[in-house]
Amino acid sequence: MKKRKFTILGGDKRNVELARLLMEDSNEVQTFALNDTEYYLPKCKTLEEALDYGKIIVGPLPISRDGKTLNTPLFSESIELERILRGLTEKNIFIAGKIGSHFLENAKKKGIVLEDYFAREEMQIFNAIPTAEGAIQIAMEQMDITLHNSNAMILGYGRIGKALSKMLQGIGANVYVEARKYEDLAWIKNQGYFPIHLKELDFYINRMDVVFNTVPSMILDEKRLEKLNANCIIIDLASSPGGVDFEKAKELGIKAILASGLPGKVARVTAAAIIRDTIYHIIQEREEEKWD
């Protein structure tokens, strides 16, 4: 692929690794709002200089925590998203993760090209692997028994559910997978797991040693939490708002862990490589569209 000029804007350790990986690929890279002592990274002095440097501006995942300012955990100053919009021009391609609708709409009004890499299917699929590994790591740290021969339930059979089921089966756990669709239940059975329809969940849940939730809606409510045995561990992997009543779990003395953003926490280099590859795919597709 052709070598390019990138500006890496804000973000966590994933963006630090992303900058390093892009430089290893012989791209020209500058960073801003990304202070890190582990590597030497070329840094712009001002936001305006950073936005003017690269044709491709890469923001963080998520782009913002509050909908107003850039997500900059490694930078002491706040940067308004509106200020970034004012500095972008039609020459830029702005790529980030979980870009909010307000930012998208305002960018379109200015004719700025925006791409949300987190919305890409290949990103989601590959991201499921470090998420599943991180979930297993948490379970092994928190459980008083081995995952081998334990009863492990996964709520939902999407990308993460598929990756996690396979890994748990490899460890030797008794894998129970909940799903709503009968086609998913057929695949679950075909893979050698125990298929559980949502309607059957209450009958099986009290047998579990660990429950991994991937469903982003309230599935482990008060009634279901009361059916769990006291030693069961819950690990919630679902995107906001999650699927666990954490207050009730605390009242019942059930250990429930919100485990969001695992790829960046447990495998930041792999997470950065996934982001890099997805960015390359976006650029390549845009170039191919010009050729058509």
For residue range 217-250, what is the model confidence (pLDDT) as tens digits?
Answer: 999 999 999 999 999 999 999 987 889 999 999 9
Torsion of CA 121, 122, 128, 134, to 10 degrees: -130
Same domain, 79 and 156: no
> 93 and 15, same structural domain?
yes
Output the CA–CA distances (angstroms, integers) from residue 72 to 77, 80, 165, 171, 213, in the order listed: 8, 11, 34, 37, 29
Sorting pLDDT into bands at 50, 70 and 90, what band is 290?
A: low
Question: Over the stretch 106-165, which tens digit does the pLDDT of each residue have?
Answer: 888 888 999 999 999 999 999 999 999 999 999 999 999 999 999 999 999 999 999 999
Burial class of residue 193 in the structure, from the number of CB atoms within 10 Å of its CB (0-12 exposed, 13-18 middle, 19+ buried): buried
Structural domain that includes position 15: 5-119+267-291
The pair of structure tokens assigned to 277 is 């590859």
Band of pLDDT at residue 1, cut at 50, 70 and 90? low
* CATH code of the domain containing 210: 3.40.50.720
d(CA 151, CA 183): 23
Q: Residue 18 class from Cβ within 10 Å (0-12 exposed, 13-18 middle, 19+ buried)?
A: buried
Tell me: do 136 and 154 sit in the same domain: yes
pTM of structure: 0.90
What is the crossing angle of helices 268-291 and 13-24, to 10°?
60
Per the CB < 8 A criterion, the answer to whether 143 and 208 are in contact is: no
- Write down the pLDDT at residue 224: 97
**DSSP assigned state of 241:** T
Q: 81 and 152: one domain?
A: no
Tell me: the pLDDT tens digits for 23-70? 999 999 999 999 877 778 999 999 999 999 999 999 999 999 999 999
In a shared domain, residues 140 and 111: no
Question: What are the phi and psi torsion angles at 208 (to 5°)?
Answer: -85, 145
Which has the closest alpha carbon to 234: 261, 205, 263, 266? 205
Indicate whether 208 and 279 sit together in one domain. no
Domains of the chain: total: 2
Q: At 18, phi and psi to the nearest 5?
A: -60, -45
User: Which amino acid, one-letter code, is at 24?
Assistant: E
Q: How far apart are the C-alpha atoms of 181 and 157, rounded to whole Å?
A: 9
Q: What is the pLDDT of residues 256-265, one digit of tens each?
A: 999 988 998 9
- Assess contact for 9 and 83: CB atoms under 8 A: no
Neighbours of 67 (CB within 10 A): 12
- Say yes or no to pLDDT of 291 above 60: no
> Average model confidence (pLDDT) for the chain?
94
- What is residue 58's predicted lDDT score, i.e. its pLDDT? 98
